[in-house]
Structure 1
Amino acid sequence: MRFDERFLDEIKSRLRPSDVIGRTVKLRKQGREYVGLSPFTKEKTPSFYVNDDKGQFFDFSSGKSGDLISFLQETERLSFVEAVERLAAEAGVPLPAVDPQAAAQETKRQGLLDWLEMAAQWFEAELRRPAGRDARAYLERRGLPEKEWARFRLGFSPSGRTALKDYLVAKGARPGELVDAGLLIAPEEGGAPYDRFRDRIIFPILDVRGRVVSFGGRAMDPQARAKYLNGPETTAFHKGHQLYGLSEARKMIAAAPSGEEPPLLVVEGYMDVIACQRAGIPAVAAMGTALGEEQMEVLWRHHPEPTLCFDGDRAGRQAAARAIDRALPLLTPGKSFKFAIVEGGKDPDEVLREQGPAALKSQLSKTAPFVEALFLREKDLEPLDTPERRAGLKVRLRKLAATIADKDLAAEYKDELLRRYEALWPTAAPVNTVGGAARAMSQHGWKQRKAVQSGPTPETRAATERMRASPKPLSAALAVAALQDLSLMGDNIELVDRFGFGDERLKDFAQELVRLSYEADHVEMDTAVRQLQARGLDPSFLRALEQDARRAGVAAPFLDPGAARDQVRALWKQAFDLLVRLEALERAVAEAARDNDFTALPPLKAERDHLRRLINSDWAHEDAEKPVLPH
């Protein structure tokens, strides 16, 4: 569903925030505002304010603020679309007419959901039929009794090559639809499609509303090529966005007693999710892939600090490391993660079976904050037995802190990580701050020089204005490509929202593109341009952006109209990651220079300058390509 600004303003004009919010928060009038206890934190003195004139709420205890839409998103865990639909109904504003293309796509998606639901019911029935005998025995051995099967909608797919296909075709399905739903595989060499899941225990994957969108299957044959098999990307199922078990976990969180916030765990496998939920712990899992940025945002909509629980083996440590790297740029004062390790190299399912729910809850309650997990990972990368290796650790810590998009939090992380670094060698003189550097120089008999404070010269101001007026060519190319195809932002969408294509000057434009992407699954470029212009974007900005993008030349192959879609996506992501990395290095260098950290500054500057040269050498070419933006 697509919503323009006029539609959203119409809704807000018909509703008073104090009336809507007042149904869940007890408010009292105080001057021109309303005040009450925060719905986000436990407090005794009211610090939550609602201003009807501004149409906003402000919560000083948690730092959160926003409008009615964001209030419903925060308090009721609704998506943007769900919150808008709720408020539109309350305001008596009819929803906008659906785009015919989007309507056709939604009709197709609903048809796939119907077949997926029918398949889930068939799998459930097969588990209880003679063909499911071995599967039933396996579940019993894993400590999962029959009375629990219905709760998690467990099923079984028999070994026949077309058993499910024959059943659904007899119900009226077309094989092509079942291929689109991910239930059948169409051979590349041609031939009739056949069942994707065969001789496997079936775990239905539900969306947040409890609808079946795909399946995961565990092979009964120990010699099977893939122990676990997941459904493919489809119109109904985006693997990078879904989390197994979220629908049930959401119910458990909502059912918690008032004032209590149960943990939300992220574990590795289907059986681990089931084990935790049986023990009364809300838990979810990614589907056979590393936890992505989109999934992290979904988690944060339901809990401010989910707990990541990975196995203690090598694969589990690697998964934890990848999660740290992906989450770090996205952290904010209200969004982080904790880490928990199950003792003895076991997983949650094993602990539940061997020791019971109480033991599992006890182990999972022992968590480490994100900053500790990050520091320990870097500290344990190599022995710290030489000055070079110790300096290397310091440089890494500075660089990692600088990747956090929230600048206040980045500064706190830098200070905390360096405090932990200095605590490793308590007798060493701290030199990571201005005061520490001064003390160190004084100890060596060096005369401390006063810092010379001087304002920028006219030439410097003029150069700054020129830089401010024109973004980096590669950044402009990234922005143009994203406008052509919003889906390019994909898993990086939150980073785009915060980093602005690696260039602060494009941040507002990036946020508008992100908003368009959230409002609709697919927006054609011409439509996106019209919507941006309707929101006040100057057409001359787009023309200038096109010119800046052309300066990127051969460094922006993702703008090649003849390139394959998968190649475009991969190249776009590589370029975006490169510029985000450069911005983080720029910040790390500035921080080290400000702190007079003469240990970390030279290697940081060397890496930054190398990256600058790499970028500049690649896109210093002028190309007379055709315009890529409509005028």
Structure 2
Amino acid sequence: MTLTPAFLDELRARTSLSALIGKTTKLQKAGREMRGCCPFHNEKTPSFYVNDDKAFYHCFGCSAHGDAIRWMTDQRGLPFIDAVKELAQAAGLEMPAMDRQSAERAERAKGLHEAMADAATWFTEQLNGLPGAEARALLDRRGIKPETARAFGMGFAPDSRGKLKAALKDYGDAMLVESGMLIQVEGKEPYDRFRGRLMIPIRDARGRTIAFGGRIMDQGEPKYLNSPDTPLFDKGRTLYNLDQAAPASRKAGRVLVVEGYMDVIALAQAGIAEAVAPLGTALTEAQLERLWRMVDVPILCFDGDSAGQKAALRAAHRALPMLSPGKSLAFVTLPPGQDPDDLVKAGGRPAMEALLKATEPLVDRLWSSEYAAEALDTPEQRAGLKQRLMELASTIADQSVRVEYERDFRRRLDQQFAPQRRPFVPFQKRSGPWKPPIAPITQDTKEFHASGIDRVLAKAILAGLIRHPTEIARHMEVLGSLRLIDGAFGRLFEAVIDVALEDQALDSVRLRTILAKSGFDSIASDLMRADTMPYTFTQEAGDPDRSRADLDEAISIMIAAPEVSAALAMIDREEATVCADAFERQVALVREKQALEDRLANLCQANEDARAFGSEGN
């Protein structure tokens, strides 16, 4: 069968889009268009418009956009060909003729769908009749209400090898074997696959039964038995409860992925209808793709035991190559030994919602898993952690996302293992029996501060401010001292401050361009040579957050050093070191001076560490 552009255009032309959408979404006239609240996201003010003349809908809130076919696939969850068939039937259009093989497959699928629907009906009748007393008691013990069982089409398969076969005999053994309802063993008569089990129908996106899951009534293995793969059912591409969760997820703006049928059913009974489950397999690429068609960040709520958390991690690794901008996963960690069914039984919907408010991003789950994988006491073990993280990031196909993951992992490694510096506290604010005197800011004091500044460190700070001009406004306390430095360096600093204060959104490139036009090209270029400055904030590449933090530290050291030197000089001038109190003050100042020197050396070491991390990652 070939669907030509002409046929699809005719189909769109014959379909009243507002009538189609109006079946499920309330629309009101708004000029030449219809308007309503968007069915794809929660909103109180209508921003969803339908234009019949142009045959498309558009939401100005979430950017949902499409035609009648897109509405059927996105809002109804139908496969493309099924959407076209349903619209064509409503419009009175004949579908293009199928080739012989396609027609045979369609006819066989039609018969299988009917057989599965009749099987679901028969199982429900058994549950509600005399044979289903034990199954109804099981549902009651599990806290499943009758109305919930009806909503999910639950049933019961009697412990018999031939009752279902007899009930569906009109379909013939061959079709029932193909549908997975009978088991065929060579040389023997086919017999019922499901016996003595609580039956849970598995439906496709259109709500048609395509398979079953059967739970054993008492003890035994397997606890759950699923239909085999059939022409209707591919367990690696199917999500349980997709037909009901898809519309619910559009209203809630989220979709939850849990481990099993009963978790889905328990959550729905508690009022959380947007949950689905894989069918006895690890989450597959096809299932992830289907989830991302529903929401950008599905939430995985696997069991709190070891097996559940391993399953969540497997899903995380499988999703990595498929990540794209905006598309990711989030995780909820359930209490140890509990699943969503246990959680809502104990605490109702509020207990689950409380966990859903604190989801863990995919990058956090990967980091915490690798960080806890082994001890990190030696350089080799820490290098192993970095290698594992970078290997995970390298599997991401999208380059922009991969770069962000690599940058995030390096930042975390740097924060975790880089040398830690104690925060600076201005000297005069520290507690203790003595504080250096705070002299009035006279001309002599200003001159002393200017002459007492470490000019090498000051040049590095100026280079850092040129690299990060937005930091200038945060450090005005040092500007007065640096302005007093004579020569070309002082004039350059004045020019930098004047330009930056005129435009506080100035970036480094524009600042250097203005400086070059003002005659500071040569001195600024010499100052910005990274190989002459051993600090992170003077380097062109590197982590911006780390560079700004190191710049803060350097400025703090530059402010404090002249104060310590001034206090020491004052003690020397007064020749009071013979006094015990003065001697103690002098010792404290010497220690403070040494501490400042250590902190400055620490900044240089931090730059070496950052370079080492960068070179390993390249």
TM-score interval for Structure 1 and Structure 2 normalised by the shorter chain: 0.5 to 0.7
Q: Identify the residue that residue 134 of structure 2 maps to in structure 1.
A: 134
1:390-469 correspondence runs (5 A): 390-427=382-419, 443=534
Q: In the alignment, is residue 177 of structure 1 matched against residue 193 of structure 2? A: no
1:156 is paired with a residue whose SS is strand
Counterpart in the other structure of 2:146 = 146
Determine which structure has greater relative contact order: mean sequence separation of CA pairs < 8 Å that are 6+ residues apart, divided by chain length: 1
In the superposition, relative to structure 1, how do residues 150 and 62 fare at CA in structure 2: closer, same or farther (>3 Å)?
A: closer
Does the 8 Å contact 1:341/1:364 carry over to 2? no
- What amino acid is the match of 2:407? D
In 2, Cα distance between equivalents of 1:146 and 1:71: 33
Residue of structure 1 aligned with 2:227, choices 219, 223, 231: 231
- CA distance change for structure 1 residues 4 and 25 in 2, over 3 Å: closer, same or farther? same
Return the alpha-carbon distance in structure 2 between the equivalents of residues 290 and 101 of structure 1.
33
Q: Tell me, in whole angstroms, the C-alpha distance in 2 between the residues paired with 1:43 and 1:130.
A: 48
Deviation at 1:36, TM superposition (A): 12
Amino acid at match of 2:231: T
Q: What corresponds to 1:542 in structure 2?
A: none
Q: List alignment gaps of at least 5 residues for structure 1.
A: 30-34, 430-434, 451-593, 602-631
Counterpart-to-counterpart distance in 1, 2:330 and 2:215: 29
Alpha-carbon shift at residue 407 of structure 1 (Å): 2.3
C-alpha displacement at 1:386, in angstroms? 2.0
- Preserved CA contact (<8 Å) 1:312 1:341: yes
Please tell me whether the aligned partners of residues 304 and 336 of structure 1 are also in contact (alpha carbons under 8 angstroms).
yes
Q: Which residue of 2 aligns with 1:186?
A: 184
SS of 1:356's equivalent? helix
Distance 1:204-1:417 versus aligned 2 partners, 3 A rule: same
Residue identity matched to 1:207: D
Q: Alpha-carbon deviations, 1:313-344, whole Å to 9, x = none?
A: 12112211221122122222343221112223
Instruction: Give the 5 Å matches for 1:454-603.
Output: 597-601=614-618
Residue in 2 that maps onto 1:215: 212
CA positional deviation for 1:28: 9.9
Give per-residue Cα distances to partners, 1:418-461, cap 9 Å, x unaligned.
223322225379xxxxx9xx97995499x9999xxxxxxxxxxx
In structure 2, how many angstroms separate the alpha carbons of the residues matched to 1:26 and 1:66? 19
Partner residue in 1 for 2:116: 116
Change (3 A) 1:57 1:439: farther
Assess if the C-alpha contact under 8 Å between 2:126 and 2:132 holds in 1.
yes
Secondary structure, counterpart of 1:599 in structure 2: helix
1:476-507 CA deviation, whole Å, 9 max, x = no partner? Answer: xxxxxxxxxxxxxxxxxxxxxxxxxxxxxxxx
Q: Look up the SS of the partner of 1:216 in the other structure.
A: strand
Q: Is 2:317 the partner of 1:325?
A: yes
Cα distance change on mapping 1:83 and 1:124 into 2, 3 Å: closer
The CA distance in 1 between the partners of 2:254 and 2:52, in whole Å, is: 34
C-alpha separation in 2, matches of 1:103 and 1:80: 17
Q: Are 1:309 and 2:307 matched, yes or no?
A: no
Residues 350 and 199 of structure 1, relative CA distance in 2, 3 Å threshold = same
Kindly provide the amino acid, as one letter, of the partner of residue 368 in structure 1: E
- 1:62 CA displacement: 6.3
Distance 1:129 1:43 in 2: 45
Do the aligned partners of residues 416 and 61 (structure 1) sit closer, same or farther apart at CA in structure 2, a change above 3 Å counting?
A: farther
Distance 1:86 1:136 in 2: 37
Separation in 1, partners of 2:153, 2:68: 36
Preserved contact between residue 154 and residue 198 of structure 2 (Cα < 8 Å): yes
The secondary structure found in structure 1 opposite 2:276 is: strand
Residue equivalent to 1:80? 80
Paired residues of 2:267 and 2:340 also in contact (CA < 8 A): yes
Equivalent residue, structure 2, for 1:523 = none
Other structure's SS at 2:161 match: coil
Question: Alignment partner for residue 263 of structure 1, among 254, 259, 262?
Answer: 254
**1:198 equivalent in structure 2:** 195
Deviation at 1:94, TM superposition (A): 4.5
Distance across 2 between alignment mates of 1:53 and 1:406: 38
RMSD, aligned CA: 4.3
Q: Distance between the aligned counterparts of 1:206 and 1:161, measured in 2?
A: 24
Deviations 1:174-193 (A, max 9, x none): 11111111001011x42101
The one-letter amino acid of 2:264's match is V
> What letter matches 2:134 in structure 1?
D
**Structure 1 residue 128 displacement after superposition:** 2.8
Match of 1:348 among 340, 347, 364: 340
**1:276 and 2:267 correspond:** yes
Asked whether the equivalents of residues 200 and 213 of structure 2 are also in contact (C-alpha less than 8 Å), the reply is yes
Q: Which residue of 2 aligns with 1:577?
A: none
Find out whether 1:292 has 2:278 as its counterpart: no
The match for 2:459 is none
Residue 375 of structure 1 corresponds to 367
Question: Is 2:392 aligned against 1:366?
Answer: no
Change (3 A) 1:403 1:147: same
Structure 1 residue 77: deviation in Å?
A: 4.2
Query: Which one-letter code corresponds to 1:177 in the other structure?
Result: M
Letter in 1 for 2:615: F
Give the TM-score, by structure 2 length: 0.61
* Partner SS state of residue 171, structure 2: coil
Could you report, residue by residue, the CA deviation over 1:9-57 in whole angstroms, capped at 9, with x for unpaired residues? Answer: 666799999999999999999xxxxx99998678999999999999999
**Aligned equivalents of 2:54, 2:381: Cα separation in 1:** 54
Structure 1 contact 36–48 (Cα < 8 Å) conserved? yes
How far 1:135 moved relative to its partner?
2.0
Task: Give the TM-score normalised by structure 1.
Answer: 0.60
The secondary structure found in structure 1 opposite 2:366 is helix
TM-superposed CA distance for 1:388, in Å, is 2.1
**AA in 2 matched with 1:217:** G
- Relative to structure 1, is the Cα distance of residues 55 and 391 closer, same or farther in structure 2, using a 3 angstrom cutoff? farther
Alignment check: 8 A CA contact 1:183 1:195 kept:
yes
The CA distance in 2 between the partners of 1:71 and 1:404, in whole Å, is 31
CA distance, structure 2, for counterparts of residue 19 and residue 85 of structure 1 = 17
The residue identity in structure 1 corresponding to 2:175 is E
Contact 1:340 1:365 in 2 (8 A): no
Shift of 1:202: 0.8
Q: Is the 8 A contact 1:199 1:221 kept in 2?
A: no
Q: 2: CA distance between counterparts of 1:55 and 1:37? A: 18
SS in 1 for 2:614: coil
Question: Could you tell me which residue of structure 2 aligns to residue 357 of structure 1?
Answer: 349
Distance in structure 2 (CA, Å) of the matches to 1:416 and 1:63: 29
Rg larger for: 2
SS in 2 for 1:280: coil
Kindly indicate whether the alpha-carbon contact (under 8 Å) linking 1:306 and 1:336 is maintained by their aligned counterparts in 2.
Answer: yes
